[in-house]
Amino acid sequence: MDALTQLAGGFSEVLTVYNILLIFLAGMIGTVVGALPGLGPSAGIALMLPLTFGMPHASGLCLLTGVYMGTMYGGRITSILINTPGDAPAIITAMEGYPMMLRGQGGLALGLSAFSSFIGGFFGLAVLIFFAPVVSSYAIYLGAPEYFLLMLLGLSTIVLLAGDNMVKALLMACVGVLVSTFGSDYISGHIRFAFTPELIEGIDFVAIIIGLYGLGEVFYNLEKRVRIDLGKPSFNIREYIPPAYAIKESGGATVRGSILGTVIGILPGAGATVATFLEYALERRISRKPEEFGKGAIAGLAGPEASNNASVPGSLIPLITLGIPGSGGTAIMLGALIMFGMQPGPLLMIKSGDVVWAMIAGLVLANIFLLFSNVLLIPVFVNLLRSVQGHLASVVIALCVVGAFSLAYSTFNIWVALVFGVLGYLMKKADYPTGPFILAVVLAPLAENYFRQSIMLGQGDWAIFIDRPISLGIIIAMVVLGGLGMATKRFMKRREPAARA
């Protein structure tokens, strides 16, 4: 109950008119920033940072975390409406949400994803409030070998994202691996394929997804002369509140997504991305209607969206208990804590506990505000899109170009986005799946680096993967799950002819 008393203390600090207004505004700003392709949590927090200098520390932190949470809500808007995810965890949202949009269910997709985002965020916050110290003391025992196996698990979902043609999927995964090798390699210290100085840090991942999804879709639609008919603007709010059947269908997925997102979101690096892909694979595996996936499945949208938001409080756990940032957004938060004169590290909760609890209380509040503001904002976004639907291609191109430019304030990334836009168009035309490609781009370098780190830690000995109990546990789980999967497949095949006969 200690946590509750401290949380109550946090709330007593946050519940002033000034702070409530601030958190509300932060959520709105975050939603808009997250909705713009190219601007994600890192950019949102960095943009707000100078504003917080004159504020009391608790208010400043509430503003930043509110923006962080808001970008997670906002990211789904462009994914669903114009097929342009703003960051890696929103890719699944585009894969399932955009087809719903094309079917005229954009409002439902937005409402449902806002709802599951809320549940996911809430679940993650509960874990943050009650178990943060316990969780982080265990999380540090996961090292490079465990991370490598986890990335492998993430990469294995390529099989599920493959669609009809496994060869095409594996081919695309290989191209993804190739693209991910550009830039400096911190393990060897060498720089690979840096034809111009801009490539020293590799190809910007966000420029890739802006091109692949946003521009690629536009090019394809231009050729096919697709006209998206979204109907006339309507402000009937009932269109946007998810009906009972949808909530029922997505309930299980949302809960599973929340748990998975919190657990995996705590891990640094690609925690949130791996969580969304694993959750997607899980939902597809246990679904009674797996053929709907990729064509706008409600469970496939809700589950990963819950994981996505559950990972935000998850990633804050190592930051506030140990001062270790697990993502781009939390790395900037770390900088902000230092600028506020606090010392992120194991003593943060002891030295500045009141401020941290006020920040957590602010997050709880932000999550509630965000649910309501996002549901109420859906008509605005949908109708905004409806009013420009005749010129949608030019609007999307403008957003993509501005988004790509804003990544490094240079035109270089616009060219990168264009190259991947053409690639995305060709892939769509020739029916190559984008999922395996993008997953390989995100996870292959991490898998590679964790693998090399493991072997280095073991001083050349592979035994490190089975000497460590957690690592051994993951390997056994993978083998058992894989074996079971194959066995049931065989069993089903044998039963099918029998049933027919």
Catalog residues that contact other proteins under the rule CB under 8 A: 42-43, 45-47, 49-50, 53, 140-141, 143-144, 184, 186-191, 194, 197-201, 268-269, 318, 322-326, 331-332, 335-336, 338-339, 341, 343-348, 408-410, 412, 449, 453, 456-457, 459
Report the residue number, 184 or 383, with the smaller CB distance to other proteins.
184
Report the residue number, 42 or 84, with the smaller CB distance to other proteins.
42
- Residue burial 297-316, b: 16+ Cβ < 10 Å; e: rest: bbbbbbbbbbbbbbbbbbbb
CB of residue 60 to other proteins, shortest distance in Å:
14
Which residues are bridge partners to 184 per DSSP? 191
CB of residue 335 to other proteins, shortest distance in Å:
5
Angle between helix axes 166-180 and 434-457 (nearest 10 degrees) is 60
Encoded tokens for 436: 């395996």
CB 316 within 8 A of CB 131: no
* CA 266/CA 249 separation, integer angstroms: 28
Report the residue number, 12 or 410, with the smaller CB distance to other proteins.
410
CB of residue 132 to other proteins, shortest distance in Å:
15
CB of residue 226 to other proteins, shortest distance in Å:
36
Which residues are bridge partners to 192 per DSSP? 183
Encoded tokens for 446: 């991490």
The half-sphere exposure of 20 on its side-chain side, counting CA atoms within 13 A, is: 7
CB of residue 128 to other proteins, shortest distance in Å:
18
Report the residue number, 144 or 418, with the smaller CB distance to other proteins.
144
- Residue 413, classified by CB atoms within 10 Å of its CB into exposed (0-12), middle (13-18) or buried (19+), is buried
CB of residue 56 to other proteins, shortest distance in Å:
17
CB 321 within 8 A of CB 132: yes
Report the residue number, 224 or 351, with the smaller CB distance to other proteins.
351
Report the residue number, 245 or 409, with the smaller CB distance to other proteins.
409
Q: Where are the alpha helices (DSSP H) in 83-143?
A: 91-100, 106-139
* CA 149/CA 152 separation, integer angstroms: 5
Tokens 């830039």, residue located: 183
- Residue 184, classified by CB atoms within 10 Å of its CB into exposed (0-12), middle (13-18) or buried (19+), is middle
CB of residue 484 to other proteins, shortest distance in Å:
31
Torsion angle of the four alpha carbons 152, 125, 307, 287, in this order, in degrees rounded to the nearest 10: 110
Q: Which amino acid is at 419?
A: V
CB of residue 198 to other proteins, shortest distance in Å:
5
Report the residue number, 348 or 438, with the smaller CB distance to other proteins.
348
Report the residue number, 201 or 431, with the smaller CB distance to other proteins.
201
Report the residue number, 198 or 217, with the smaller CB distance to other proteins.
198
